[in-house]
Structure 1
Amino acid sequence: MANVLQELLAAGLIDKLEGNDERFKKMTQAADSLAKAFKKNPALLIPAILTVLDGDV
């Protein structure tokens, strides 16, 4: 997951880091935690995907 965040950062799709590596580190840790949770319980992917698709969220 960290590779995906690194690619998004390089493409300029993650902004307002303002040189703060700690914020990016926290984002990476959060993404890794989510990935582990999804691997442990794949059923969590369904509500996660529905949340992402909901335009009102």
Structure 2
Amino acid sequence: MINNRERLLTKAYHLILDPTVSQDERDSLVAFKTDLEQGSDDSRSMMKLAESLR
């Protein structure tokens, strides 16, 4: 069974590879993915991602 963190990582990975995503968005997604992989709180990481995409 896939947990929430694995889903977030998978979605971030696919967005990073999406050719329609800008480089700035990609950089934000890579930082988000790295935070999650290092054990950061899911909600806090998502809030940081949302802020960086504004």
TM over 0.5: same fold? no
Query: Could you tell me the TM-score, scaled by structure 2's length?
Result: 0.44
Query: Could you tell me the TM-score, scaled by structure 1's length?
Result: 0.42
